[in-house]
Structure 1
Amino acid sequence: MSLRPEEWPEVPELTARVARAAAARGAPPLAMRVRDELGALFADAEFAVAFGRRGRRGWSPGRLAMVTVLQMAENLTDRAAVQRVRFDLSWKYCLGLELEDLGFDASVLSEFRTRVVDHGLEERVLDLLVVALKEKGLAKAGGKQRTDSTHVLAAVRELNRLELAGESVRAALEALSAAAPDWVAQALDVGGWNRRYGRRIDAYWRPPGSQAQRDQLALDYGRDAVALLRAVYHPAAPPWLRQLPAVQTLRQITVQNYLITTDNSGAEVVKRREADKDGLPPGSLRLTSPYDLDARYGGKEDLHWTGYKLHISEVCQPPRPKDEAPPQCRQARPPVPNVITHVATTDATVPDVKLVEPVHHALATLGLLPAEHYLDSGYASAELIVGSLATFGIALVTPLLTGTSRQYRENAGYQREAFAIDWDARRATCPQGATSRFWSPARQKGRDVIVVRFDQADCVPCPVRAICTNASRWGRQLTLRPRPLHELIDANHTAQGYQGWQAKYALRAGVEGTIRQAVAVTGSRRARYRGLGKTHLEHVYSAAALNLIRLDAWWNGQPLDHTRTSHLARLDLTLAA
């Protein structure tokens, strides 16, 4: 498919006249409003690198990007989106199409997404939209922004280790049977393999019974995987079979979950890996499905899922003072809309704290760094608070977690704050008056710390030893951060107790409504596509769609609504007004 970048056509006169006549009453549809306010938002030249210069002329990639954004705004399938292009007046108006234009085939959208991902253009749409809003004064540097994350389920079934082992063999057999049926017929017992892998591996359909039966079935899957891989890698087999993605995936999953050893007699044994004895790969590397190699198994408190994380950053406006707030149940329209400025997608194992610097670098590229960035404790660390202010001039408004020691977990005994620290003398004094004997700088988990330890002779006879420490070989031990970070942490913990800080930090809670909007409107909770690249593309285009929806409401003067307000509570507020 070739591309000759060109300007979007003006809206044809007949299309414009009919569309405006149909929208004469009330506010115009979203697609029409976007074209009138923002014009040809996505230029073809921005996507030129993804298309060749020779070959069949393709549909305008800029307009395909707009179609995809509108598709996300209405949570449509590809076929439904193509139907809108063909029959919806507002979409024809937005795209500048004649009334008789038949649009394009639904497969064009899939090919467009693939080209965009392959050439690293996933974020281009949101960046172009944000830059356009910046030029119109609807987004600017400084001010306040907030970021939060939510879990995203991969577009594959969630498999346990037993199902994963069997389904990986089945996926490889399916790929081999499609690519080289003659070789499969000659090299394998097709009937036997079909009886075991003719239908998908699912514990619901094949309940394995007792633990002994499950263990035996896991070993059977492992032996079959090894046998199939050896057949494919046999010198007589066509070499290109080894390059099939499903075969490579089977090889990786087998290595991650099985060991080949020998017993006392020297016979070969295929053994299932045990986490405590043989070790398993870290979660960031461990495959969870033979069909989506980027999805990972993640957890947060009581929530566990297979898939990804979505991080959303948006502009936020401080609430109006109570004496200026309108009496209605809805908030007044903000001076500028709360624009989503950046989205990031990671696999489910990446901690939130790893995203702060990448988000700031992305916002700096757009010239939209905030003065204050509101984050929850999952994004926070003392190093980031200091580094963000020094590097980007951003003040992180975020609570820092307390310690992880037994005293903090049980909220009892003497916590670190109960000890007096003399930095100049390099010693600590406990509440009972004993002073520390050891002061040792060290590195723990890649961070600089100071280990402070009290002498056992002071701690053993102490009358409050039971609530202070349960160490048997030495006395109480403290782990401190270097002095500047230690003082920053103490100041942060002190500030968190004041109502003024808590009222200021309440602004962060509004991002929960944005996540709810993304889930309810664009279906962001479940990935549409497989792979990190296309899942991120979905999130970027969904964010652009949410921005257009918010802009449409802002242009129409629609005030913001309270989040998590029941119908009964809304009625109560209305009657009170």
Structure 2
Amino acid sequence: MLSEFRSRVVAHGLEERVLDLLLERLQTLNLVQAGGSQRTDSTHIVAAVRDLNRLELVGESVRAALNALAAACPEWVDQVLVVEDWSHRYADRIDNWRLPASKTKQHELALHYATDGYTLLQAVYAPSSPAWLRELPAVQTLRIVLLQHYIRTPDRNGRLRIRRRERAEDNGDGLPPAPIRLASPYDTDTRWSAKRETFWNGYKLHVSETCHPQADGDRPARPNIITNVTTTASTLPDTKALEPIHQSLQHRGLLPARHYLDSGYPSAELIVSSARTYGLALITPVLLDTSHQAKAQQGFAAHDFAIDWDRKRAVCPAGKISATWNDVIQEGVAKTVVAFAALDCIPCPAKEQCTSSRKGRRLSLYPRELTEAIRTARAQQQDGTWQRDYALRAGIEGTIRQATHTTGLRRTRYRGLAKTHLDHTTSAVALNLMGLSGS
């Protein structure tokens, strides 16, 4: 009954309803309001499925499709699929028995799984088979898994030859990218991902909560309230999750004035668009200048050049004016390339501090608004006051630690992104109630 209830909640798009109701009530009690400060961080979530390697994934996908067909139409399975060794090969979970240690044997088994899978799909898609069998989720999953891991090409006799896709191939036949590659036939939303030393199969959770500056030893006047939880694929960068987070906060009427984030979230575009669209400031360390001059802290970095956007020119620290100003597209991004004349740079006594090029110095600039935003942010984060203010962000890590320890969020209880998000919003409600009861 609970499983069916959760399915109905997800089917009607009500995963966040309980959290919305709680936050509406807290707004009427003046315990949470728009403006002020909030902080956000992400953590990894392990899926409720077994970890499978490539060989196990294909074999288990064939087994899952067989089981789904046998449950949906056992008469068709008995009449059409008469393969002697299938009952033995797919009786138990693929990862329950020891796989061959030899690479050659593993390769042979992988081709056996692929042959069985294609044979099964051929029978399902035969004109004499019921058309509705093709719509079974397990059958569609098997199609995708075979497509992602194998290639069929005709040989000289016109017969289809099956071969595995390999990671190292550069001819377009390699494995698909991680964001679209299935990791389990039982949860098609989960993905393998890595972040620093952590490697997991699952999702990613972003938690946002209110935060209040306080003096050392003082207790905050209000409890910190979780205002939003966003569940995403594990492969989605934090930068891509920030806009949906702001949209959710705007929908609830809880947009902050200052949003504290770690360095994984910001970009020049997001700093500008967040201020323009939502009227909020991102308090976050931006990536520093990566030029070799800035890294070595010797010589003239890009920020040492004065940019005159109105007159479309740059002035170097030695007082020389740029020779060319060209608006270009680099890797799909609009930029401005500014170049100084070789006649100015080569005889310049400060050339060794500026560039090693045999020609003049070149600068690659983002559009004006983005460049000014990123320069301002870099200058601010060098200030000690900014560093002390940014320390407020660290508190979100304690909230995430409490969430994973108290509610068991580290490993999801359900399969699929929607039900996993339902679990996360319910846990956020529980954490808010715990915080209110202790305040």
After superposition, residues 140-179 of structure 1 pair within 5 angstroms as: 140-179=33-72
Of 74, 82, 96, 1:181 maps to 74
After superposition, residues 32-111 of structure 1 pair within 5 angstroms as: 107=1, 109-111=2-4
The answer on whether the counterparts of 1:184 and 1:190 sit within 8 Å (CA) in structure 2 is: no
After superposition, the Cα gap between the structure-2 partners of 1:547 and 1:255, relative to the gap in structure 1 and judged at 3 Å, is same
After superposition, the Cα gap between the structure-2 partners of 1:264 and 1:412, relative to the gap in structure 1 and judged at 3 Å, is farther
The answer on whether the counterparts of 1:399 and 1:492 sit within 8 Å (CA) in structure 2 is: yes
1:342 alignment counterpart: 228
Sequence identity (%): 56
State the 1:165 CA deviation. 1.5
After superposition, residues 171-570 of structure 1 pair within 5 angstroms as: 171-202=64-95, 205-275=97-167, 276-277=170-171, 278-320=173-215, 322=216, 325=217, 332-403=218-289, 415-428=301-314, 437-444=323-330, 446-453=332-339, 477-554=362-439
Moved more, 415-424 or 452-461: 452-461
**TM-score, L = length of structure 2:** 0.89
The answer on whether the counterparts of 2:210 and 2:226 sit within 8 Å (CA) in structure 1 is: yes
After superposition, the Cα gap between the structure-2 partners of 1:502 and 1:289, relative to the gap in structure 1 and judged at 3 Å, is same
The answer on whether the counterparts of 2:191 and 2:202 sit within 8 Å (CA) in structure 1 is: yes
The answer on whether the counterparts of 2:10 and 2:419 sit within 8 Å (CA) in structure 1 is: yes
State the 1:527 CA deviation. 0.7
Cα distance in 2 for partners of 1:463, 1:305 equals 54
State the 1:295 CA deviation. 1.0
State the 1:492 CA deviation. 0.9
State the 1:400 CA deviation. 1.1
After superposition, the Cα gap between the structure-2 partners of 1:511 and 1:190, relative to the gap in structure 1 and judged at 3 Å, is same
State the 1:412 CA deviation. 7.7
Which protein has greater RCO, CA pairs closer than 8 Å, 6+ apart?
2
Cα distance in 1 for partners of 2:357, 2:155 equals 43
State the 1:222 CA deviation. 1.9
State the 1:168 CA deviation. 0.8
State the 1:350 CA deviation. 1.5
Of 136, 139, 144, 2:29 maps to 136
State the 1:111 CA deviation. 2.0
The answer on whether the counterparts of 2:257 and 2:281 sit within 8 Å (CA) in structure 1 is: yes
Cα distance in 1 for partners of 2:371, 2:423 equals 41
Cα distance in 2 for partners of 1:458, 1:154 equals 60
CA RMSD of aligned residues (A): 3.0
Moved more, 383-392 or 412-421: 412-421
The residue type paired with residue 139 of structure 2 is V
**TM-score, L = length of structure 1:** 0.69
The answer on whether the counterparts of 1:342 and 1:362 sit within 8 Å (CA) in structure 2 is: yes
The answer on whether the counterparts of 2:214 and 2:220 sit within 8 Å (CA) in structure 1 is: no
After superposition, the Cα gap between the structure-2 partners of 1:179 and 1:491, relative to the gap in structure 1 and judged at 3 Å, is same
After superposition, the Cα gap between the structure-2 partners of 1:532 and 1:228, relative to the gap in structure 1 and judged at 3 Å, is same
1:98 alignment counterpart: none
The answer on whether the counterparts of 2:213 and 2:220 sit within 8 Å (CA) in structure 1 is: no
Deviations 1:314-351 (A, max 9, x none): 1111021x4xx3xxxxxx43211101111111111211
The residue type paired with residue 338 of structure 1 is N
State the 1:403 CA deviation. 4.6
Cα distance in 2 for partners of 1:411, 1:256 equals 47
After superposition, the Cα gap between the structure-2 partners of 1:502 and 1:156, relative to the gap in structure 1 and judged at 3 Å, is same
1:127 alignment counterpart: 20
State the 1:438 CA deviation. 4.4
After superposition, the Cα gap between the structure-2 partners of 1:135 and 1:255, relative to the gap in structure 1 and judged at 3 Å, is same
Deviations 1:447-506 (A, max 9, x none): 43213356788889999999977889x776532111222122112111111110000000
Deviations 1:168-217 (A, max 9, x none): 11111121222233332332344311232222222x83333243433333
Paired residue secondary structure (1:523): coil
The answer on whether the counterparts of 2:43 and 2:206 sit within 8 Å (CA) in structure 1 is: yes
Unaligned runs of 5+ in 2: none
Cα distance in 2 for partners of 1:288, 1:484 equals 41
Paired residue secondary structure (2:69): helix
Paired residue secondary structure (1:281): coil
The residue type paired with residue 260 of structure 2 is Y
After superposition, the Cα gap between the structure-2 partners of 1:466 and 1:301, relative to the gap in structure 1 and judged at 3 Å, is farther
The answer on whether the counterparts of 2:18 and 2:426 sit within 8 Å (CA) in structure 1 is: yes
Cα distance in 1 for partners of 2:176, 2:315 equals 43
Paired residue secondary structure (1:379): coil
The residue type paired with residue 187 of structure 1 is V
Cα distance in 2 for partners of 1:177, 1:470 equals 70
Deviations 1:392-413 (A, max 9, x none): 2212111111255666778887
Cα distance in 1 for partners of 2:435, 2:102 equals 54
Cα distance in 2 for partners of 1:229, 1:279 equals 23
Cα distance in 1 for partners of 2:354, 2:400 equals 43
Deviations 1:6-61 (A, max 9, x none): xxxxxxxxxxxxxxxxxxxxxxxxxxxxxxxxxxxxxxxxxxxxxxxxxxxxxxxx
The residue type paired with residue 165 of structure 1 is V
The answer on whether the counterparts of 1:117 and 1:534 sit within 8 Å (CA) in structure 2 is: yes
After superposition, the Cα gap between the structure-2 partners of 1:430 and 1:212, relative to the gap in structure 1 and judged at 3 Å, is farther
The answer on whether the counterparts of 1:143 and 1:370 sit within 8 Å (CA) in structure 2 is: yes
State the 1:147 CA deviation. 0.9
Moved more, 118-127 or 297-306: 297-306
